[in-house]
Structure 1
Amino acid sequence: MALETAEQDPGSGVVPVFFLSDSTGISAETMGNALLIQFPDLVFDRTTIPFISGVEQAARVVEQIDAVVDAGLEPLVFTTAAEDAVRLELQKTRAPIIDFFDMHMSRVEDVLHRRGVRQPSRLHGVGDIKRYNNRMAAIEFTIEHDDGQSVRMLEKADVVLLAPSRCGKTPTSMYLALQHGLFVANYPLVDEDLEGTDLPEPVREHQRRCFGLVTNVDRLSRVRGERRPGSRYSSPEQCRWELRRAQQLFDAHRIPTVDTSSRSVEEISAVIIQHLGRSRPRSNRP
């Protein structure tokens, strides 16, 4: 199912990007975004189209992409489709296409002197049931513990993200869970938390798992302004106070931080994982 793509002005400087897959699309997104983050001066309008199940559906996807080309834009397409018929149909698009599967699979087949089975689910590791189940559990835990909605079983968390509202807690949490199988909780620092010197009571005993997110005043005010324009919540004065108090709280409790103002979610996650010293959940989790 395709995600809706906003109409773009050909002169807007926005580059339409499509991630295509005959499975979940996670691999296409991961590998494609790893390349796109090398172009921080560009703005990308991303559309993911997963579970392309046959030639007819692939042909409709090609029509959708070619319609963007006809509108005068130059989209970039990443695909990890493994099934030959789907992959060949997708390659009929008039847009530039980067086929990760064909690019790497052919080389592996040459080295191993045999042809791979080219089944979509195998590309995404669904055959590893234990790994798949662990990742699904991580996602469920992270959704339950988003934005302080639940403080139940925080001892299971690999990391607890702390930050004022709109500093990037939720997207970072979901990326860590989805891509790395980490159990992540995130907790918003509100005025009452920032007026004191102690960590919020629900996370106090989990200080060693805490990680702080900060940003700059201009960006925070702009992001909040999109949600509540003209409010105290989005005013530079309120944003400045919250960020200053949050940093003081982090410093007082020796909580590591990462500045999210100019980093992608992939880069933010890499900093957190490096601090954790691992990219997998703890083996002793109940």
Structure 2
Amino acid sequence: MKRTAFFVSDGTGITAETLGHSMLSQFRGVEFAQITLPYVQSEETTRQAVTRINQTAEADGHKPIVFSTVVNEEHREIIGTCNGLVLDMFAAFVGPLEDELGVRSSLIVGESHAIRDHEAYRIRIDAVHYALDNDDGARTRHYDKADIILVGVSRSGKTPTCLYLALQFGLYAGNYPLTEDDFDDLRLPEALLPHKDKLFGLTIDPDRLAAIRSERKSGSKYASPRQCDMEVRALEALFNKFNIPSINATELSIEEISTRILAKAGLQRRLQ
């Protein structure tokens, strides 16, 4: 089954996409064509959105699913006239919250993504810079500032996880790749020894690792199943030897990896 889903927003569309993706992911038997319509902020752009939704409904022969986070009440009413199943996030949640809190909502466009807390924004930017500067073992002299240092073999997901930890939680995350040289004697690199309490390991199934590496260097020793199996076995032995906490990231998204690291390492996020 194929259906179309629209994410309609008077801002970036990030909130509508996030909530919509979470709901659509529960319907594995349906293939969704996903269309984001951001910055729907005037009557004209709202009617243009409705026209596009209606055209899609006619072409598909099915009502599109419409996730809306439009704030303006008049614009929401216009969207409600479209030939789609409209899931209005504000109608569903803001009304009950107003009733419970006894306070009217501000209904300000873009409020959820505005830079209101400049200190929090600075923390996020500094954390991202740290992750980039301390990626892949490029620099180790700043590890004393790290909240966590991810270790694992090449292509196990260390870099994107560090960036997510920085962006979402404001954490200073560095990462260091472990190689065959480190596995020979099952020893930690000198640069990591003073920071052993900050280390967290990412491991991955050898078959998955070989597939990922093959996309980069197909046919190489680096991507061979035998090499990947050897590295992963040695990596996990190293984790066991030095009691380094770890998780298997094979079937996990970056979001899941990051939140599990937070829970297992007992880290406190700087950004709420």
> TM-score per shorter chain, which class?
0.7 to 0.9
Cα contact 1:121–1:127 (8 A) shared by 2: no
Task: Report if aligned partners of 1:82, 1:123 keep a CA contact under 8 Å in 2.
Answer: no
The 10-residue stretch of structure 1 (196-205 or 19-28) with the greater mean CA deviation from structure 2: 19-28
SS at match of 2:191: helix
Give the corresponding residue for 1:246: 235
Amino acid at match of 1:139: V
Q: Aligned-pair distance for 1:138?
A: 1.8
1:154 aligns with 2:143: yes
1:257 equivalent in structure 2: 246
8 Å CA contact retained: 1:175, 1:265 = yes
| CA distance in 2 between partners of 1:159 and 1:241 (Å) | 26
TM-score, normalised by the number of residues in structure 1: 0.75
Within 1, Cα distance between the matches of 2:167 and 2:73? 27
The one-letter code of the counterpart of 1:108 is: L
User: Residue type of the partner of 2:202?
Assistant: L
1:225 is aligned to 2:214: yes
Identity %, equivalent residues: 36
- The amino acid of 1:247's aligned partner reads E
Residue in structure 2 matched with residue 123 of structure 1 by the alignment:
112
- In structure 1, C-alpha distance between the alignment counterparts of 2:136 and 2:81, rounded to whole Å: 44
Q: Which residue is 1:112 aligned to? A: 101
Cross-structure match for 1:82: 71
Q: Which has the larger radius of gyration?
A: 2
Aligned positions, number: 270
Unaligned runs of 5+ in 1: 1-9
CA distance in 2, matches of 1:62, 1:93: 5
Q: Alignment RMSD, CA only?
A: 3.6
Distance 2:30 2:253 in 1: 13
How far, CA to CA, are the matches of 2:178 and 2:48 in structure 1?
Answer: 46
Q: Which residue in the other structure is 2:122 paired with?
A: 133
Confirm or deny: 8 A CA contact 2:186 2:234 kept in the other structure. Answer: no
Which residue of structure 2 lines up, in the alignment, with residue 7 of structure 1? Answer: none
- Partner SS, residue 201 of structure 1: coil
Distance 1:115 1:213 in 2: 46
- Distance in 2 (CA, whole Å) between partners of 1:74 and 1:233 is 49
> Separation in 2 of the partners of 1:152 and 1:88?
57
Give unmatched runs, 5+ long, in structure 2. none
Aligned CA distance change for structure 1 residues 117 and 183 (closer, same or farther; 3 Å)? same
Give the alignment's TM-score, normalised by structure 2: 0.78
Within 5 Å, which residues of 2 pair with 1:34-73? 34-35=22-23, 54=42, 56=44, 70=59
Aligned equivalents of 2:65 and 2:156: distance in 1? 29
